[in-house]
Structures are given as structure tokens and as C-alpha cells.
């Protein structure tokens, strides 16, 4: 399990931070060294600052900026941290990433209308991030699947904390559009069908109740163990 990238994906408000906290505690209990990054690195570096401005709506409304340009900003934000990622992997760290390339694909492809546009944009993002920018590919990825009606309620609540500082009191234009979140969910489903190492993690029971964070964590870590055993 040394020198692996684990990515956690999900809609805004799906509980990624909770699962990452539990994963970190598990790795610590096993004596495994780890590193963690949340992408995008808002307000850090040239591209993180530009992304923060975009999400605050300073470049216009959601439809005012072409998704290819937005994808470029998010991709270049990751590239700024590429050398650090590669160093950690070479030193045997387990690298946990809150959002990665699949997030860029899901959010940007959700903004275009036709299937041909989606396919073209997805291909461009994959080529740009993994070939042109030569980012390391994740070893295993997880999508926290939460019903859309729960996501809608979560996003309607006031969200606070240091990770909201980039908004300067404004709304995040990605989070404020539930139509976008619905379309992003559909794009994640496509990626889940296409990628064998991308795993759906159901966060709700058949009775439409939240599974406990610990139960969700156990499912995630069992799949990580399966990956490690297969190496």
C-alpha cells in the first residue's frame, strides 16, 4: 500500500471530509505515513487564486465562462503541486486527494449540452492532465453516492469554516446551482461505468437513511485492502 494515490470524489456536501478524517485515523493506527491535499488549492498559488475568483462569480455567472477554460484552471492548479505529489509517492507515502481529475471531468462536462461536446471535453481533460501535464494517475478512487435530495438540503444549509474563507462572504457558483449538481451526478455515473478502479460507495441504506460514517469507512477500506492484496 506504500506509494499509492487514493482519491475521494462526490457532490458538494456528500461527506468527503468526514471520510477523509476517518481514513487518516485508520492509516495512523496502522503506522502508515500519509499526505493529504484538497483540490483545488483555493487562494494558494496563481491558479488557486483565479479559481477562487471564478467560484465567487467575479468572472461572471456560471454560463459566462467556457468550461474548457475552467477545466484549464483546475488542471493547472494540480500541476503546481505535481512535484510534491511525485516526491511523496517516491518516498512511499499514501497520498489522499479530496477531488482530482475526475472532478474536473464531471463538473465541466456537466455544463455542456450535447454528448459529442461532453466526449470531446472529457478526452481533452484526460489528455491534458495525464499526458500534457503528466500527472500521476490514482491507484483507486471512490465516489460517495448520496441521494440528490439530500445534497440539495445540505447545500441549502449555511456552511462555515476555514475552508469557506475563499468566498469572502459570497456564494460558490458551483454549489448554488442545484441543476449543475444534478448534471454532475450524471457525469460521475458515466465515469463509474467507464473506470474499473472508480468505486461507488452507497452512503444511504435501502430505507433511505444515512449509513454511519464508520460503516461507510469500512466499505471504503475493505476495497483499499483488496487493492493492496492484489499488488
Could you give the CA distance from residue 102 to residue 105 in angstroms, rounded to a whole number? 5
Closest CA to 117 of 103, 105, 133, 128: 105
Q: What Rg value do the Cα atoms of the chain yield, rounded?
A: 17
Answer for the pair 109, 121: CB distance below 8 angstroms, yes or no. yes
Place of cell 483507486: 140
The reply, when asked if residue 15 is annotated as ligand binding, is: yes
For residue 73, the number of C-alpha atoms closer than 13 Å in the C-beta half-sphere is 24
Place of cell 430505507: 207
Answer for the pair 75, 99: CB distance below 8 angstroms, yes or no. no
The reply, when asked if residue 208 is annotated as ligand binding, is: no
The reply, when asked if residue 77 is annotated as ligand binding, is: no
The reply, when asked if residue 12 is annotated as ligand binding, is: yes
- Note if the bond before 145 is cis, omega within 30 degrees: no
| Chain centre to alpha carbon of residue 108 | 13
The reply, when asked if residue 14 is annotated as ligand binding, is: yes
Could you give the CA distance from residue 32 to residue 93 in angstroms, rounded to a whole number? 8
Binding site, by residue number, is: 10-17
Binding site for ATP, by residue number, is: 10-17
Amino acid at each position: 500500500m506504500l506509494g499509492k494515490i487514493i482519491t475521494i470524489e462526490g457532490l458538494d456536501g456528500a461527506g468527503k471530509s468526514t471520510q477523509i478524517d476517518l481514513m487518516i485515523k485508520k492509516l495512523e493506527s496502522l503506522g502508515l505515513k500519509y499526505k493529504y491535499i484538497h483540490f483545488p488549492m483555493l487562494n494558494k498559488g496563481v491558479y488557486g487564486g483565479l479559481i477562487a475568483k471564478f467560484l465567487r462569480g467575479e468572472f461572471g455567472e456560471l454560463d459566462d465562462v467556457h468550461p474548457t477554460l475552467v477545466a484549464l484552471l483546475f488542471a493547472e492548479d494540480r500541476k503546481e503541486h505535481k512535484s510534491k505529489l511525485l516526491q511523496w509517492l517516491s518516498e512511499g507515502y499514501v497520498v489522499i486527494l479530496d477531488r482530482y481529475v475526475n472532478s474536473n471531468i464531471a463538473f465541466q462536462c456537466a455544463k455542456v449540452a450535447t454528448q459529442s461536446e461532453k466526449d470531446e471535453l472529457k478526452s481533452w481533460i484526460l489528455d491534458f492532465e495525464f499526458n500534457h501535464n503528466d500527472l500521476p494517475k490514482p491507484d483507486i478512487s471512490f465516489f460517495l453516492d448520496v441521494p440528490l435530495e439530500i445534497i440539495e438540503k445540505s447545500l441549502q444549509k449555511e456552511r462555515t469554516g476555514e475552508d469557506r474563507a475563499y468566498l469572502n462572504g459570497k456564494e460558490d457558483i458551483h454549489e448554488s446551482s442545484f441543476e449543475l449538481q444534478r448534471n454532475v451526478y450524471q457525469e460521475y455515473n458515466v465515469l463509474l461505468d467507464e473506470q474499473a478502479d472508480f468505486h461507488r460507495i452507497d452512503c444511504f441504506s435501502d430505507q433511505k437513511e444515512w449509513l454511519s460514517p464508520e460503516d461507510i469507512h469500512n466499505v471504503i477500506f475493505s476495497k483499499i485492502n483488496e487493492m493492496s492484496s492484489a499488488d
